[in-house]
Structure 1
């Protein structure tokens, strides 16, 4: 099910893409609300929310009584915004780069508290996968990997992974209608956890590589 919020995000992204492609140039006025509603097949509230998002990002400016004007193209977006726009194989490449380094650092820096939390989420991942509870299993999987990111003891890696994890969760929810892939990859996740427990950075790197390779997101 597509929520109003995600629909507004989709409209905002389409407008961003059109601005980036030059369809709406810097300084030019965007089409009126009714025209945008017809163009994207959405309601007035969705269009207004999409425009609000672009206004907050500094891409457009709303002038009362005159309309909405383009201030800048998408090339000026932040790294976080760019990460949130990544999809399919591109998103998986970002994920792979982060998870391999995070796993390596977690094997060096993890604490007993980190291990206990990882075990808890990994057990929940297996339980919900076997019960075919897809949403709960996806959440447990994300929580497990976030624990590893915390164990790496790198604030910048953790912040980057939090951004990617949120987007990954949305993709998993759309693409994975059952838990078969989670069941199939449970042993790999257990290997990853064991390598972190053993403080073996090389093995942790290899285990993370196998997981990201098996669970690659397709376009």
Structure 2
């Protein structure tokens, strides 16, 4: 790490201690806010896990979950024996969209369906745009994520994190950061919902084959087919939501 990076290292401004109930979300927002205020740049190292635990007043599992989420979003990367490093500049505003779904209400299925309508428009368009704009490097990144997802799916019957990385790679291939910012927030809402009360690791597993077909369409530059394959995936999502909420 460069001397300039060390001069921006943690310490000033200080992180605010977390006192609210939703610790993971609060830690994520506090850490993003601190990154924005501190002037950290891509390539700079974040505070250590222990420093984050002590400063924020939360446990190791909460800190690790936040770092895992940031890794999945392409915000940070962890290097073995070295630490966690920033990949792109962020702030609390760039990672947070005021989208919430309350799984404890009787109308949660209706809320998910409303969100799904928006996802169809955004994700379908993202796939179509990626088919037009994706570079060779983008295609290689999407294919790598797909290969990992397929191996995990065949071995365990589900691949939640790997599936997420595949779709994030597509959003990045649009070269429009708004797709990723908006869609990953919607995906967060869905992820939190399906952990509880459904707890279904096989959710939407019938959409598995469409992911390879979606990649093929993007690789071949077929925007219309890429959009359709995305809609095919989301149709399975809708069917499973209806089935699980009976």
Q: Report the TM-score range of the alignment, normalised by the length of the smaller protein.
A: 0.5 to 0.7
* Match of residue 94, structure 1, among 81, 104, 118: 118
Greater helix fraction, Structure 1 or Structure 2: 1
Q: How does 1:27-176 map to 2 (within 5 A)?
A: 80-81=97-98, 83-85=99-101, 87-132=111-156, 134=158, 137-174=159-196, 175=198
CA distance in 2, matches of 1:112, 1:95: 26
Q: CA deviation at 1:215?
A: 1.4
Q: CA deviation at 1:145?
A: 0.7
Cα separation, partners in 2 of 1:178 and 1:8, compared to 1, 3 Å? closer
Q: 5+ residue gaps in structure 2?
A: 1-20, 27-95, 103-110
CA distance in 1, matches of 2:114, 2:225: 25
The alignment's C-alpha RMSD in Å is 2.6
CA contact (8 A) 1:99 1:208 kept: yes
Q: CA deviation at 1:166?
A: 1.7
| Bigger RCO (CA 8 Å, 6+ sep) | 1
> Counterpart in 1 of 2:212?
190
Cα separation, partners in 2 of 1:154 and 1:180, compared to 1, 3 Å? closer
Establish whether residue 5 from structure 1 lines up as the match of residue 29 from structure 2: no
Q: Secondary structure at the match of 1:161?
A: helix
CA distance in 2, matches of 1:101, 1:214: 18
Q: CA deviation at 1:144?
A: 0.7
* Match of residue 200, structure 2, among 163, 177, 198: 177
Cα separation, partners in 2 of 1:117 and 1:5, compared to 1, 3 Å? same
Cα separation, partners in 2 of 1:119 and 1:171, compared to 1, 3 Å? farther
Q: CA deviation at 1:180?
A: 6.6
* Match of residue 201, structure 1, among 208, 211, 223: 223
Higher mean alpha-carbon deviation, 205-214 vs 118-127, is at 118-127
Q: 5+ residue gaps in structure 1?
A: 10-78
CA distance in 2, matches of 1:6, 1:94: 28
Q: CA deviation at 1:90?
A: 1.7
Q: CA deviation at 1:6?
A: 7.2
CA distance in 2, matches of 1:189, 1:201: 15
Alignment size in residue pairs: 143
Q: Secondary structure at the match of 1:199?
A: coil
TM-score normalised by the chain length of structure 1: 0.58
Deviations 1:18-55 (A, max 9, x none): xxxxxxxxxxxxxxxxxxxxxxxxxxxxxxxxxxxxxx
TM-score normalised by the chain length of structure 2: 0.52
Q: CA deviation at 1:167?
A: 1.7
Q: Secondary structure at the match of 1:213?
A: helix
> Counterpart in 2 of 1:215?
237
Q: Secondary structure at the match of 1:215?
A: helix
CA contact (8 A) 2:207 2:233 kept: yes
